[in-house]
Amino acid sequence: MSFERLITKLDDKERYWRSIEGKTIAVIGYGNQGRSQALNMRDNGVNVIIGNPPDEYRKTAEKEGFRVYEIDEAVKNSEMVFMLIPDEVQPEVFSHKIADNLKQGSAIVFASGYNYFYDLITVPSYVDVLLVAPRMIGFGIRDLFLKGKGFPVLIAVGKDYTGQAEEKLLALTDAIGALKPGGVAVRSSFKEETLLDLLTEHTWAGAILYMFRLYYEVATELGASPEAIILELYGSGELAEIAESMKQQGLFKQLKNHSHTSQYGQLSRGRLFANEKVKQLIKKMALEILDGTFAKEWTLEQKSGLIHYKNLYKMNLEHPMEREEEKLYRLLGRIK
């Protein structure tokens, strides 16, 4: 591992912060990420405005004391723009409301590499392009900030028009709270962020959902109760505790928290799923991300009205496991 890629604090903080001193930052979108990052920057003394259409998010931003504008007006009134609206709507919004309103020497900041990597957004030549991509859900960003803690983030310069893109990048990373104790910024690229983000979603994150369902089917066929299965798999919260142990102790080192029977079972049986066939499938998915195959498929899916997407959801929500989960969660008071 190259530790030169890792940044845990700014040794010359003033030098970096001078690049954003006196600047107005427009956060486009006051949703999960937008709200947390905007609040953190404001608490750090940054002048933040919000760009958001009239909706509940706009009302929330106004109630929380922000000046809120239509998106195009927010861009006109700022020198740095955080793109924190969903990936799928960014190209149209950027084209119609942002591109022509960016000032020369301003900066556009993406939280995802997707649209810039796949050339779905063309940024004017006179603008710095930055990537500040937290590896943390929105409310976690705010919660950690309030506790005085940082969080992981991937960062990159996509284009340095002003010659100050690096300074802006690190100042903004610090401004959102990533470099508080426990946080780390990893030098990355738009390509790497896109690959890792999508590959996570296409492999283990999606596979675990279907693996749980297969487990449910086999266990019920063998006479186990739906309630016991769901609690065993994820309903008890044990899975979240194991994930926390992985974060704190390491992927395999956390096994020491389990019984010897559990350790042996996981090590000897789990490896049966990690074979060459699965590795090649993961590689195929990675290559389809890098060559744009998946991006083209997803773009066509959106243009078709999300027919396949909706059918996949419908198919999974109609599975018997979903009905049993709902009954259990109602009994436990998790849903009404």
Nearest Cα to Cα of residue 111 among 48, 37, 40: 37
Are 239 and 233 in contact by the 8 Å Cβ rule? The answer is yes
Nearest Cα to Cα of residue 160 among 123, 112, 117: 123
Residues 6 or more apart whose CB falls under 8 angstroms from that of 101 comprise 72, 75, 76
Are 53 and 31 in contact by the 8 Å Cβ rule? The answer is no
CA distance 80 to 305: 33
Please indicate if the annotation marks 197 as binding a ligand.
yes
CA distance 168 to 16: 7
Please indicate if the annotation marks 201 as binding a ligand.
yes
146-176 burial by CB neighbour count: b if 16+ within 10 A, else e?
eeeebbbbbbbbbbebbebbebbbbbbbbbb
Sheet containing 24-28: give its strands across: 6-7, 184-187, 152-159, 128-134, 107-110, 80-83, 24-28, 47-51, 68-69
Binding-site positions read: 197, 201
Binding-site positions for Mg(2+) read: 197, 201
